[in-house]
Structure 1
Amino acid sequence: MKPYLERVPASPDSSWSMLNRRLDDGIPFQWHHHPELELTLTLNSRGHRFIGDHVGSFDGIDLVLVGPNLPHTWSSSERLDPALPHVALVIWFRQEWIETITRSSVEFGAVAALVARAGAGLRFSTAAAMALADDFGRLFDLPAPQRLLAMLGILGQLAEDADAVALSSEAFAPVERDAGAERIDRVLTHIHQFYAEEIRLDDLADVAALSVSGTHRLFSRHMRTTISEYIIRLRIGDACARLSATGQPIQHIASAVGYGSLANFNRQFRRLRGMSPRDYRARFRL
């Protein structure tokens, strides 16, 4: 279940991208990440969402803003109305692009604050999702200039949702975009690809084109955590997805996410989740 790097399709007439996804067989589990922020409205679907190290359920309507390079997926189990498809309306946009807009327009101060909070993922209230569902759907029929204004309007309304809640731990939320942004993106992509294996610090330093100590400083500045703790949380997040979505034996899961020692896996899982993997699986399924 390693999160693969998704290449978001560019739009020929827009600075951002969108997708109207309608599926009869359900939203598949596709654990992935990308540099863009993603705003996804899910309709007529019931299942589970996986955002960083968060695992939760959704039912009927779900509106989530995912931060840059945050591993995520939805996985649906059934349609609320069997006569209609599962629907996922998706918007992608670059953090640098939205920050350029918000920096130059004081009117978008609340949107800037919303984007700053989105690093670990935000789930918006059901009331906000229902209020914006029609506006979200109309985006796909608008000409490009009106579509941009409507999208910014949606972000402005979401910025006022006082009931939005963070999903993943802060360890998955980059703090800032600066001169080291491209380096941290390369490091995160490497970690996401190989976290279930042994990752040598020398290899990460080569990826970042820095010394080992410089790579540590870069990672700590952007991610507010250490490299080792980030990898642990990524592994345990993968384990949570497997425990909740599969019947794989716990020993197999521990090995698949990078733990040769079941005892060490159980210890790290209990530290982060407050219970054993077996109890987590039982409670999640309940």
Structure 2
Amino acid sequence: MKSALRKTIESQVRSFTVQELREPHFDPNWHFHPHYQLFTVMEGTGTRFIGDSITPFEPGDTVFLGPNVPHLWRSDAWYFEEGANLTTHGIVLYFQEDFLGKEFFDRPEMHPIGQLLEESKRGIQYVGTARQRIRTELQELLHLDGLQRILRLLALLDELAHSVEGAPITSYGYVNTHKVSETERMQKVHDYVMQNFRQEIRLTEVASLAGMSEAAFCRYFKTRANKTFTDFVSEIRIGQSCKLLLEDKWSISQIAYESGFDTLSNFNRHFKRITGQTPREYKKAYTIPV
């Protein structure tokens, strides 16, 4: 596995970068970079980690991230299986704040976009028509060049700056406290939990994996992730259960055990605490009648 790192994405011939990603699975490494990032999932499912937020993702997931916000779109386990013959597809746009000059976004006319850039430091998730506009524009930008390319990006940013269909992703006041030298340690923890959340996870084993005592690891993790390790594991499990509920293949009790909970009551308690709904309420709210 590649080491987690601080990514740098530069183009030698263009002011900003737009890439189409088609791979058997999305990049499994927890990382951050000094660029703003606009990303949409066209194909693929899994769990999305952004700062201190953990949530399932599916086609349509569309976010705008500010610089150095740690993130990871972790494809579901079956994307990594040998012979799976599955594909993920996404479109991503990267730019730095000074791609049009150091003071461009400080000008009065750029104030709404400047405010958008500030809000993106918590990450912004888009829904509705704004999400569809982003997806359409990213597809168009793949094929544009020259001045028209820059004008289209500015128009899109201005549109998003006035949109009411974006919501913050990370908790209020979230700040990236990860150091480049420490991201590999967090990557090991992420990978271990994703591979083992269906069974009992012993704090002793995880702390040993991180090269720490249990007490030191608990302090370290809460500082870096803005939540306890126990809450982190619970959110991973609830994210898995949300997907299974919408698939409508198993009973709620089966889903509870498949997601790593030892009792149905424990599952229901954690589900209500994290989602604000019971499993049945969640399923009813997100299932579209046929």
TM-score bracket, shorter-length normalisation: 0.5 to 0.7
1:64 alignment counterpart: 63
1:82 alignment counterpart: none
Question: Given residue 261 of structure 1, which amino acid in structure 2 is its aligned partner?
Answer: T
1:257 alignment counterpart: 259
Cα 1:248–1:256 shift into 2, 3 Å: same
Shift of 1:113: 1.9
Q: CA RMSD in A?
A: 4.9
Shift of 1:17: 6.0
Shift of 1:135: 3.8
Cα 1:222–1:99 shift into 2, 3 Å: farther
Shift of 1:284: 2.6
Question: Given residue 274 of structure 2, which amino acid in structure 1 is its aligned partner?
Answer: L
Consecutive unaligned residues in structure 2, runs of 5 or more:
77-88, 107-113
Cα 1:100–1:209 shift into 2, 3 Å: farther
Is this contact kept in 1: 2:177–2:223, CA < 8 A? no
1:87-166 equivalences in 2 (<5 Å): 90-91=91-92, 98=96, 107=105, 109-110=114-115, 112-118=117-123, 122-124=125-127, 126-127=129-130, 129-130=132-133, 135-142=137-144, 153=154, 156-157=157-158, 160-166=161-167
Is this contact kept in 2: 1:266–1:276, CA < 8 A? yes
1:172-187 equivalences in 2 (<5 Å): 175-179=175-179, 181-182=182-183, 183-187=185-189
Q: What are the Cα deviations for residues 112-138 of structure 1, in whole angstroms up to 9, with x where unaligned? A: 4243121xx5115515743x5554223
Superposition TM-score, scaled by structure 1 size:
0.62
SS at match of 2:260: coil
Is this contact kept in 2: 1:269–1:275, CA < 8 A? yes
> In 1, Cα distance between the equivalents of 2:155 and 2:31?
21
> In 2, Cα distance between the equivalents of 1:216 and 1:157?
42
> In 2, Cα distance between the equivalents of 1:101 and 1:190?
38
Question: Given residue 40 of structure 2, which amino acid in structure 1 is its aligned partner?
Answer: T
Q: What are the Cα deviations for residues 146-200 of structure 1, in whole angstroms up to 9, with x where unaligned? A: 79957964774366144143376749x9730442651333323332332222222
Shift of 1:229: 0.9
Superposition TM-score, scaled by structure 2 size:
0.61
2:208 alignment counterpart: 206
Tell me which stretches of 4 or more aligned residues in structure 1 moved more than 6 Å. Answer: 10-15, 55-58, 99-102, 145-148
Cα 1:282–1:129 shift into 2, 3 Å: closer
Shift of 1:16: 5.5
Cα 1:278–1:148 shift into 2, 3 Å: same
> In 1, Cα distance between the equivalents of 2:30 and 2:131?
25
The total of aligned residue pairs comes to 248
> In 2, Cα distance between the equivalents of 1:209 and 1:193?
19
